[in-house]
Amino acid sequence: MKMTAADVEHIARLARLELTPGEKELFAGQMDAILGYVEKLKGVNTEGIVPTSHAVPMENAFREDVVRPSIGLEKALANAPDRAGTFFAVPNVIE
Amino acid sequence: MKYQPVIGLEVHVQLLTDTKIFCGCSTRFGAEPNSQTCPVCLGLPGALPVLNKKVVEFAIKAGLSTNCSITPRSIFARKNYFYPDLPKGYQISQFEDPICQRGWLDIKITTPDSISADSVKRIGITRIHMEEDAGKLVHGDFSGRDDGSGVDLNRACTPLLEVVSEPDLRSSDEAVVYLKQLHQIVTWLGICDGNMEEGSFRCDANVSVMPVGSSTLGTRAEIKNVNSFKFVKQAIEYEIQRQIDLIEDGGTVVQETRLFDPNSGKTRSMRSKEEAHDYRYFPDPDLVPLVINDQWIERVRQELPELPEQRQHRFMAELGLPPYDAEVLTASRALAEYFEAGVAAGGNAKAVGNWIMGEITRTLNDSGTSIEACPITPGELAELLKLIDNGTISGKIAKTVFDEMWKSGKTPQIIVEEQGLLQVSDSGAIEQIIDDIMAANTGQVEEYRGGKEKVFGFFVGQVMKASKGKANPAVVNELLLNKLKG
């Protein structure tokens, strides 16, 4: 598989990243190398081995359904670039 | 050409927990915007989501009640997309290995054009998974602004179950029956309040059509925003016709998300967000795998209430109710419990059922009250029925007593005493009334004796009226028959 600038553009678009043509070329090459490495790993016999989704061998971390105080409006909105009343304000979202 | 619609439903069930799925913020509805938030549900960097155990219990309940297998080891995934109501830029959901898989619901299909009885159709449930809800957007005029959108993250991170059906439904009617049955189950289990207007139970419909006899599914459109049973039916019917018209005109259906507009009854294409259907799911490293062993499943199974279908069968088998009555009386858990309490208090099952389906339902509807808030207790209803059974009052007077119980909250005995409503079974008193009426209506007496037996009803009516409804109808019938025969 060969990564092209168009592939990089698609992924950048999904991640809302704006890249220059030079960066697209650069990342295409780097991603190619990563994918090549993964291709190589695929050659390893993994029969009977459960895929690893988590690095730490841990399971079932729960909390009980008990309300804890929220942080409050002012703190919640403190980092908002724009606010209107107690709302975060964003550009028009057209549905 | 004839077309066969193919429909699958995705239902979002908002769970009745006190707190959100991954943090301790309250899920209470109607709070001031953004007041119920914390670093986890605001999506602030470094915050660690921790799973609410009750959400898992509710999911297992839903799965067991819909014949699903509970997955021994399931994981959470990040579903990546950008929208202002999603602060992290991904939704925590389940993708591979959802908590419940491969279940089904048997739905009852009524066939009006067929002589056969109702048939049962099995609708497959592909999966049920847990996920977090997004925030809420408000548009246009809000907080003194006249443009832009506002984001309220109180709802962000609220626990949802998504119940995905197989494309086994073949008509809008089947879709509605399935949806109602699912709604009944989740409200019965007490895991969802079922409020469709407030969005606690929402439905997306995947609709496609294919030529009758074909086995290749057509391209489907996903219809969003259908928040009532009526709209589900309307939206699906509109969409089926739209696709058929499109194909007949030589066009092709495109796979897209469409929005239902309740005002026009139409669906329209949604352009936003859908350009790239690439969610790049991957396991969420913040949330460790969820392992559910058999003991846990068994414990939850023990806690399950008797489900509507089981209860219907018991009402028929143990209490001798007809199937129709059993179905109506198990429409909701509260209704079924009211009925059973009435029977337990000594009421005759059939009579208690009739009064609940008749007077009680009618009065509840008229006053916009729910059965939970019914001012007459099941015990009081049973008392009223006993008064009819032992001849203290007539069935007709019982209706008057019932209305008075509803209004005043008094017991039936007190009302009967206070208002002098005791049934008159004394034959002497009734004979006197009959004699007076026969004397005043000699013409009708002649008619009856001449063979026109229908006039009998006229006399019964007159006697009841003269006794203000208090005469015992059985005694009236007997005496009247003797006297008229002369």
Overall number of domains in chain A: 1
d(CA B48, CA B287): 8
Please say if the pLDDT value at position B113 is more than 60. no
Q: How far is CA B39 from CA A36, B43, B149, B156, in A?
A: 38, 6, 22, 12
Assess if residue A33 is contained within a domain: yes
Per-residue b or e along A9-28, where b marks 16 or more CB atoms closer than 10 Å to that residue's CB: bebeebeeeebeeeebeebb
| Averaged pLDDT, B97-103 | 96
B147 touches chain A (CB under 8 A): yes
Q: Which of B24, B145, B149 shows the shortest C-beta gap to A66?
A: B24
Say how many Å lie between the first and final Cα of chain A, rounded: 37
User: pLDDT by residue (tens digit) across B31-51?
Assistant: 999 999 999 999 999 999 999
B156–chain A Cβ distance below 8 A for any pair: no
Instruction: Give whole-number Cα distances, B92 to A60, A88, B48, B450, in Å.
Output: 16, 22, 12, 85
Spatial separation of the C-alpha atoms in residues B217 and B238, rounded to whole Å: 19
User: Is residue A28 domain-resident?
Assistant: yes
Nearest CA in chain B to A89: B150
Average pLDDT, chain B: 89
Tokens 């997306």 appear where?
B204
Inter-chain touch B150–A85, beta carbons under 8 Å: yes
B118-173 per-position pLDDT tens digit: 688 999 999 999 999 999 998 877 777 777 889 999 999 999 999 999 999 999 99
Residue A22 in any domain: the answer is yes
> Residue B338: what pLDDT?
93
Nearest to B272 among A13, A71, A95 (CB): A95
Q: Which residues of A touch B (CB under 8 A)?
A: 10, 13-14, 16, 53-56, 58-68, 70-73, 76-77, 79, 84-95
Please list every residue in chain A whose beta carbon sits closer than 8 Å to the beta carbon of residue B148.
84, 89-92
Which residue out of A7, A17, A60, A66 would a mutagenesis test of the B interface target, given it has the greatest number of B Cβ atoms within 10 Å? Answer: A60
Name the more confident of B438 and A66. A66
Per-residue pLDDT of A20-66, as tens digits, reads: 999 999 999 999 999 999 999 989 998 888 777 787 788 999 999 99
Beta carbons of B18 and A67 less than 8 Å apart = yes
Q: Point out the residue among A54, A77, A93 whose CB comes nearest to the CB of B285.
A: A54
Q: Which among A53, A65, A86 has CB closest to B32?
A: A86
Determine the distance from the C-alpha atom of residue B258 to the mean position of all C-alpha atoms in its chain, rounded to a whole number: 26
Strands (E), B281-397: 282-283, 290-291
What is the Cα–Cα distance from B97 to B284, expressed in whole angstroms? Answer: 13
At position B92, the amino acid (one-letter code) is I
Contact (Cβ atoms closer than 8 angstroms) between residue B51 and residue B58: no
Measured between alpha carbons, how far is B159 from B83 in angstroms, rounded to an integer? 19
Residue of B nearest to A57 (CA): B288
| pLDDT tens, position by position, B419-432 | 777 777 777 888 88
The pLDDT of residue A94 is: 64
CA distances from B149 to B84, B156, B157, B234, B463 (A): 9, 16, 20, 29, 72
**Portion 286-345 of B in contact with A at CB < 8 A:** 287-291
Please report the pLDDT score of residue B5 as a whole number.
Answer: 95
Q: Is residue A30 part of a domain?
A: yes
Nearest-CA residue of chain B relative to A88? Answer: B151
Sorting pLDDT into bands at 50, 70 and 90, what band is B112? Answer: low
| Contact residues for B99 (Cβ-Cβ < 8 A; gap 6+) | B56, B59, B60, B63, B70, B71, B74, B128, B129, B130, B290, B292
Q: Which residues of A touch B80 (CB under 8 A)?
A: 14
B280 contacts in A (CB within 8 Å)? 14
Q: Which residues of A touch B51 (CB under 8 A)?
A: 61-63
Q: Is the predicted pLDDT of residue A2 greater than 90, yes or no?
A: no
The interface predicted TM-score of the complex, written ipTM, equals: 0.85
Reported as a single tens digit per residue, the pLDDT across B290-300 is 999 999 999 99
Q: Would A21 be classed as within a structural domain?
A: yes
Helices (runs of H) and strands (runs of E) counted in chain B: 17, 17
- Tokens 């006190």 -> residue: B18
- The domain that holds A27 is classified in CATH as 1.10.20.60
Mean pLDDT of B250-258: 88
Residue A74 belongs to a domain: no
At B412 the pLDDT is 86
Average of pLDDT values for B408-412? 86
d(CA B4, CA B168): 12
The DSSP-derived string for B52-79 is: EHHHHHHHHHHHHHTTPEEPSEE--EEE
Look at residue A41 and tell me if it is in a domain: yes
Q: Which site among B16, B96, B137, B151 would you substitute to test the A interface, given the most A Cβ atoms closer than 10 Å to its Cβ?
A: B151
- Dist CA B284 CA B77 (whole Å): 5
The answer, for B33 touching chain A at a CB cutoff of 8 Å, is yes
Nearest residue of A to residue B52, measured between CA atoms: A63
Q: Residue type at B294?
A: D
**CB contact (8 A) between residue A84 and residue B291:** no
Q: How confident is the model at residue B472 (pLDDT cuts 50, 70, 90)?
A: confident
Determine the pLDDT at residue B216: 87
Decide: B430 and B401 in contact? Cβ < 8 Å: no
Quick one: tokens of B374? Answer: 């019914």
Q: By CA distance, what is B83's nearest residue in A?
A: A93
Six token digits for residue B145: 């602004």
Q: Does B97 touch chain A (CB under 8 A)?
A: no
What's residue B276's pLDDT?
A: 53
Options 1.20.1050.10, 1.10.287.3510, 3.40.50.150, 1.10.10.410; which CATH number does B427-485 get?
A: 1.10.10.410
Length of chain A: 95
Contact in structure between A76 and B32 (CB atoms under 8 Å): no
Q: What are phi and psi of B361, to 5 degrees?
A: -60, -45
| Contact at CB, B26 and A70, closer than 8 angstroms | yes
Q: Which of A10, A16, A17, A62 to mutate to test the interface with B (most CBs of B within 10 A)?
A: A62
Min Cα distance A25 → chain B (Å) is 22
Contacts of B290 in chain A (CB under 8 A): 59-60
Residues ≥6 apart with Cβ < 8 Å to B280: A14, B80
What is the SS3 assignment for B144? coil
* A60 contacts in chain B (CB < 8 Å): 288-291
Which one, of B385, B14, B375, lies nearest residue B187 by Cα? B14
Domain definitions of chain B by residue range: 3-296, 306-419, 427-485
pLDDT tens for B53-76 read 999 999 999 999 999 999 999 999
Closest chain A C-alpha to B286 CA, distance in angstroms = 9
Interchain proximity A76–B17, CB inside 8 Å: no
d(CA B334, CA B155): 28
Instruction: For residue A39, give its domain range.
Output: 1-45
pLDDT at B143: 72
- Compute the average pLDDT of residues B250-276: 80
Determine contact: B278 vs chain A, CB below 8 A.
Answer: yes
Cβ distance B289 to A54 less than 8 Å, yes or no, reads: yes
Share of chain B above pLDDT 70, in %: 97
Nearest CA in chain A to B17: A65
Residue among A68, A77, A84 minimizing CB distance to B142: A84
Helix (H) or strand (E) holding B405, with range, is helix B395-408
CA distances from B431 to B297, B421, B422, B462 (A): 69, 19, 17, 13
